[in-house]
Structure 1
Amino acid sequence: MTQPTETVDEVMGLVSVHMGPALVALIEDDELVFLHISETCDSLRIVDIVPDGLCVSQFLTMVRDEGHQTFRVKYWKYSAVAHVLPPVPSLEAEYSAGYRHVGSGV
């Protein structure tokens, strides 16, 4: 889970610890967003390092605009690919009709 203002370098530094693909979650405009990050791969074209200080919200916009983004951070020798997972419809409305509050009657 990250904040939209955290830098891509900071977030991907934590992703690197997992040594595999990862989901990065963040709240944007009151919506839960999942950003899928692939493993770095020597088969991908090695791209330039993302600009220093690029925040996650800016990166998310780039990924959405392109549909996916091949990128690399300063910690990585090879590139990775990021894409946004489609939103999951809210189940709140579906389940809220089945629940009722039982008060103490006081």
Structure 2
Amino acid sequence: MNTPELQTPATQRIQELLGCPEARRHLSSYGWIEGMPVVFAHAAERVEDIMGLVSVHGRAVLLVLSDDQTENLQLWHITVPSPIFTRVEPTTPGMMIQELCTRHPESRIIPFRVAYWSHSAAIHEIPLDPYTDRNDLRGSVFPYHG
């Protein structure tokens, strides 16, 4: 992420977040580990497209979901597809990633599957601010100097 042409507000904010020891401890409590791949997506991107990027890594990823209009970020932990998860029906073709992330907000872990996966994977949100419902770094307990 040190390439200037790839520096966006979202990448800069995630770099700052990952550079903060307190934030790293918080992320670790939700499954993040050092060196975990980070996949950036916009809320209106298709689930199939994003999961294609996730599949390339062959391991769990940190999904950074951004909204250009509000500049809010959401963080999601996505596992690899595995036979340990209940096999669910594939997501609807054309489903947007934001819809997947919000379809069961009362559930902590959401099983899902895209059509080209044999097994389901799981996704769960990593709250940026454990004390409020706001999901942007500017309102979080973690330092943000943007």
Q: C-alpha distance in 1, partners of 2:46/2:106?
A: 19
Deviation at 1:66, TM superposition (A): 2.2
One-letter code aligned to 2:117: W
Q: C-alpha distance in 2, partners of 1:70/1:24?
A: 15
Deviation at 1:63, TM superposition (A): 4.5
The match for 1:86 is 127
Consecutive unaligned residues of structure 1, counting only runs of 5 or more, are 97-106
Task: Give the alignment partner of residue 93 of structure 2, picking from 42, 49, 52.
Answer: 52
SS at match of 2:53: helix
Q: Alignment identity in percent?
A: 28
Q: C-alpha distance in 2, partners of 1:75/1:36?
A: 20
TM value normalised by structure 2: 0.59
The match for 2:76 is 35
Runs of 4+ in 1 over 3 A off after TM superposition: none
- RCO higher in structure (CA 8 A, sep ≥6): 1
Q: C-alpha distance in 2, partners of 1:7/1:32?
A: 17
**Conserved in 2, the CA contact under 8 Å of 1:7 and 1:54?**
yes
One-letter code aligned to 2:125: V
**Conserved in 2, the CA contact under 8 Å of 1:63 and 1:82?**
no
Task: Give the alignment partner of residue 103 of structure 2, picking from 58, 62, 66.
Answer: 62
Aligned residue pair count:
94
Q: C-alpha distance in 2, partners of 1:55/1:46?
A: 20
The match for 2:58 is 19
Aligned CA distance change for structure 1 residues 63 and 14 (closer, same or farther; 3 Å): farther
Q: C-alpha distance in 1, partners of 2:75/2:87?
A: 24
SS at match of 1:83: strand
